């Protein structure tokens, strides 16, 4: 937690930690915001319990952060899995103390293909991911981060070998239990939660996202939330907060406005 002014809570993605927001912090602080970053249970420096890897629990964890810090008039910004916390938080607790929400490369509204959700991803894909993690978590992470950054296209241009290695290091240090258990949360159904979004919302998604395809997630989220703003990052991979940080930061700061307290 650092800075002063209107609070912004940044919620990281799988399998990283709050440190993954390092390119957003300077821009938000320069705009006058108070920035709060925390690590999801099982990841980063948080404790690594054997249970609690579901979105109701994640949202309760976020609520504890907000309550214990006495935060009001907050903006919630979720990247990837973090967008699920944003949606479920509003579904469970409403928007009484939330002024704005941002979904970046996020999993809502519903990633799993079902009879009433034909735009989703086939369940066999998630089953394959679980199998790969159980067989060799470290090898899985190596392949995962190649697609996380679209390394075949962007390596040496918008992401370095060292940045990818740093992400692998963070992912490898996460709880093995959490890494496996979180896969099933990626296809949580957030459609009812999104109906409670009655505040300004921004959706940022890359059109080359190989982890959470925009057609199955962000583009639909923007349509489901009344008056939501959608910003599509051209040729953006999943981790646009790193590869396209300047563009993402510009949209974030413009949407959130000045951080000076009202």
> Which amino acids are annotated catalytic?
80, 209, 238
The burial class, CB within 10 Å (0-12 / 13-18 / 19+), for 131 is exposed
129-148-249 Cα angle (round to 5): 140
CA 172 to chain centre: 19
Rounded-to-integer distance, Cα 75 and Cα 6, Å: 8
Contact 255, 28 (CB under 8 A): no
Q: Rg (Cα) of the chain, in Å, rounded?
A: 17
DSSP string, 199-245: S-EEEEEETT-SSS-GGGTHHHHHHHSTT-EEEEETT--S-HHHHTH
């Amino acid at each position: 937690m650092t800075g002063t002014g209107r609070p912004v809570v940044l919620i990281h993605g799988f399998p990283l930690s709050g440190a993954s927001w390092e390119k957003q912090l300077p821009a938000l602080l320069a705009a006058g915001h108070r920035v709060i970053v925390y690590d999801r249970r099982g990841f980063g420096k948080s404790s690594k319990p054997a249970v609690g890897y579901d979105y109701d629990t994640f949202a309760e964890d976020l609520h504890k952060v907000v309550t214990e810090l006495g935060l009001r008039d907050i903006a919630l910004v979720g990247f990837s899995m973090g967008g699920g916390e944003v949606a479920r938080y509003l579904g469970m607790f409403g928007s009484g103390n939330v002024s704005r929400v941002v979904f970046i490369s996020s999993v809502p509204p519903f990633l799993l293909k079902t009879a009433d959700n034909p735009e989703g991803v086939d369940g066999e894909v998630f089953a394959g991911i679980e199998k790969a993690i159980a067989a060799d978590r470290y090898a899985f992470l190596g392949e995962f981060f190649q697609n996380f950054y679209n390394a075949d296209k962007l390596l040496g241009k918008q992401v370095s070998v060292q940045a990818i290695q740093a992400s692998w290091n963070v992912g490898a240090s996460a709880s093995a239990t959490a890494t496996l258990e979180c896969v099933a949360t990626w296809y949580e159904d957030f459609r009812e939660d999104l109906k409670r979004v009655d505040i300004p919302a921004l959706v940022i998604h890359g059109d080359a996202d190989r982890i959470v395809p925009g057609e199955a997630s962000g583009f639909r989220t923007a349509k489901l939330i009344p008056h939501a703003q959608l910003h599509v990052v051209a040729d953006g991979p999943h981790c646009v907060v790193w590869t396209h940080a300047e563009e993402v930061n510009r949209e974030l700061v413009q949407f959130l406005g000045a951080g000076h307290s009202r």
